[in-house]
Chain A
Amino acid sequence: MVTIEDALTEQPLDPGEREKLERTWQPCPGFRGWLTSVDHKSVGKRYVATAFLFFLLGGLEASAIRLQLARPENRLLDPDQYNQIFTMHGTTMMFLFGVPVVLASATYLIPLMVGTRNISYPRLNAFGYWVYLIGGLFLYSGFILNTGPDSGWFSYVPLAGPEYSPGKRMDVWAQTVTFTEIAAIIAGIELIVTILKQRAPGMSLHRMPLYVWAILVTSFVVLFAMPSVALASQMLAFDRLVGTHFFNPAEGGDPFLWQHLFWFFGHPEVYIMFLPAAGFASEIIPVFARRKMFGHTAVVLALVATGFISFGLWVHHMFATGLPQLSQSFFTAASLMIAIPSGVQVFCWIATLWAGRPRFDTPLLFVLGFIALFVLGGITGVMVGSVPFDQQVHDTYFVVAHLHYVQVGAFVFPLFAAFYFWFPKVTGRMLSERAGKWNFWLFFLGVNITFFPMHFLGMMGMTRRIYTYLPETGWGDLNLLATAGAMLIAASVVVFLGNIAWSLRRGGLAGENPWDAHTLEWATSSPPPPYNFTHLPVVEGLYPVWERSAERPVVTGLSAERREILVTTVLDAEPDSRHENPGPSIWPLLSALPVGVTFIGGIFTPWAFVIGPALMLPALIGWGWPQAIPPDDRSIEEVAA
């Protein structure tokens, strides 16, 4: 019998209840527990840590690029190494850091924010992580063994085709992309289901936090964009391995097909990264402005609108291909239009700060840095959305500057803000504020010193992806400045790592709600127990922690002896049914390995497509092995609080 009862805070919890919950939800002990874990928190932490590791690797690659370009005719890297490194930088930052870290942080936060015990398909979630890990390790094994891809992260054919990229290099790239797509689609599906079906009672759609909205929209964008590039990367693999002619102009194939398929994913990808970042900002600003977010509905609409419009922009990456002007005009209009919903969000953030009493802790600093950089990146984005102007700056350092302002400014900055904001929740310890301020200012200065000069370099004719340039071009000084800025960014990241290492041991204890924040994850201990909430909360307003009534209603009646979660209705989040959430399982890992065998082996022999699935079959049988569950005849009944 699921009921909603009043639980005054002082009311002692049934100690037996808590013990049972502990026993039911605890992971297996030791290393095996690590391999079999299906808890969204441990998988999410692992996911975020892996993505950050790739962020550091991508950063090292970026440093190598900057050192090579610091002076004209520099001989630090030869062209082959340089091409591999810039390709690895782009691929790592986009496919192994950008999208995964968004979905990983959502995997951790969303179930807590919507007030449920676990993510919707926990074993699938673990499977997605393993697939992503195998893909990332695969790419880097290739890179270490001098088989790193070298045709750019965009991998334009025919340069990425069989003749001009001989060997396995681009095959490694294509399969890595396939791995990350699978992982992203999996995460998107789980998040959609968790958000729509597992919200705490009372959290109807109009009471959903903005970050949850952002993730919902993002997950749908993932679902529609990723298949496009997964298809494209498989077609590329077929062209290279089987000899099909999808992209071979001599036989009626079409290089533009690749560009359309790739950018149809590539532009939404930017918003897959930006929307959750905007969601972070919309969660953090009200907390530090100590007032409710202004224009909640407008921001929700802006998020949804951005998600829709993001699919109508992809051709602005192809303005130099000589397309007819009429179609270009359409994409120009769409590119300018997407500035409006972004503007709505910025104005709402400023309005919230305007009427609030801001306190300048590190998370807010990073969000403010984000607004400053994002507005600039948005303005240059409007510029490159214009066909004639883009024909001049396309493929030059102007675009490099623009994309780093939006990717670093509008994605990495909010991510750091979120890291400082939720680190206490995840670990139970606060990060150092002093180091945080150093981290912020070094980063902010570094990003501006690195990327602002690149606008001028682009207009002076410096094209992208060149491994060196002649002294006569006059680009040397600005490049040296940019390299100096890159070193500042590197120093900032070192401070950040030091801060984490120090805080994990010595940071101040966080307690339940150190920032006086308003979403549900702050209504449980830090770090949260494996079952998230002793009693599932009931939501009474848009700001559940700020707007709790004196009675504090909670859900009772879920079994503590099984991993039961409450399923609620999509619109109003009324209790609907009880659902059993699966326990620890080794099968996700054992199913992910054959996927690795299939895709990696497929580069060397078509038989891999036989061997891999044959290995996967027993794993899937194990995964789906029916469990004898004793029938449970208790029904759902709602009792109004």
Chain B
Amino acid sequence: MSSVADCGGGGGAGRARSGAVALLLLGVLAACERERRVYREVPPGATAFPAVQTGELQAGPPTADPTAGAYQENRWAVSQGQILFTQFNCAGCHSAGGGGGMGPPLNDPEWIYGSDPENIFATVVEGRPNGMPSFRGRIGNAQVWQLVAYVRTLGGLTAKDTWPARADAMDEVGPEPDPMPRGAL
């Protein structure tokens, strides 16, 4: 640059800056809903199982959608679901990562009983023929919804930035311990 103060050519800076800030805010706002963490979804004593809507027709007034925001596409719920998937041994039939085994794979586009959150919820709660057990009363609703959120990411049904990364939990705890205790030279 010359030593004469070059004060031209900066007109777009203000616009560029506000544009960048707007983009930034948009991006983080999109992440905002996905970051919400719900610990107490179902207050104790509430009705155990809301009617699951599997079709367009239903009896009674329309029910609120329990799947909105708090679970579907929510990173916290997906992550919890990922932990539960291992702990409840879903992986026993569907394999870790949902590749399928004794049970059908969960990471392909084929859904025998539907891929909507409500369908998967029903599958877990009611069980299905040919081996899917019913977990009614054993897994709390909130946890089922977390599992549903995780299972739907396996099938690639949700936005990519809600997919879980690799699992960090370990099945084994590592090599046998050093016979020398801490502090031995």
Contact = CB atoms under 8 A, between A and B. Distances in A.
Interface of A: 24, 26-29, 31-33, 35-36, 80, 123, 137-138, 141-142, 145-147, 158, 161-164, 166-169, 239-241, 243, 245, 248-251, 322, 324-326, 561-564, 580-586, 589-590, 593, 596-597, 600-601, 603-605, 622, 627-629
B20 A162 contact: no
Contact of B2 (A169, A241, A564, A583): A583
Nearest to A168: B31
B13 to A, nearest CB: 5
B76 A166 contact: yes
Contacts of A27: 5
Contact of B168 (A137, A158, A583, A601): A158
Contacts of B184: 324-325
Interface residues of B, number: 47
Given A35-B10, A593-B20, A600 B4 contact: no
Contact of A240 (B78, B165, B169, B182): B165
Given A36-B7, A146-B35, A596-B20, A167 B76 contact: yes
Interface string B1-16: 1111111011001101
Interface string B65-89: 0000000000110110011000000
Contact of A142 (B17, B28, B79): B28
6 contacts: A24-B4, A141-B24, A146-B32, A168-B35, A250-B171, A628-B2
Contacts of B76: 166-167
B6 A35 contact: no
B152 interface: no
Given A24-B3, A163-B165, A147 B27 contact: no
Chain A CB count within 10 A is highest, among B1, B6, B9, for B1
Contacts of A29: 7
Contacts of A325: 182-185
B168 to A, nearest CB: 4
Contacts of A249: 170, 174
A368 B79 CA distance: 52
Interface in B133-185: 161, 164-171, 174, 182-185
Given A162-B166, A248-B166, A322 B182 contact: yes
A35 B13 contact: yes
Contacts of B29: 145
B35 A167 contact: yes
A243 B165 contact: yes
A30 B47 CA distance: 65
Contact of B24 (A138, A162, A239, A580): A138
B164 A162 contact: yes
Contacts of A36: 7, 10
Interface in B109-141: none
A245 B16 contact: no
Given A32-B10, A589-B13, A590-B13, A166 B31 contact: no
A147 B31 contact: yes
A561 B164 CA distance: 61
Given A24-B3, A142-B28, A163-B79, A586 B9 contact: yes
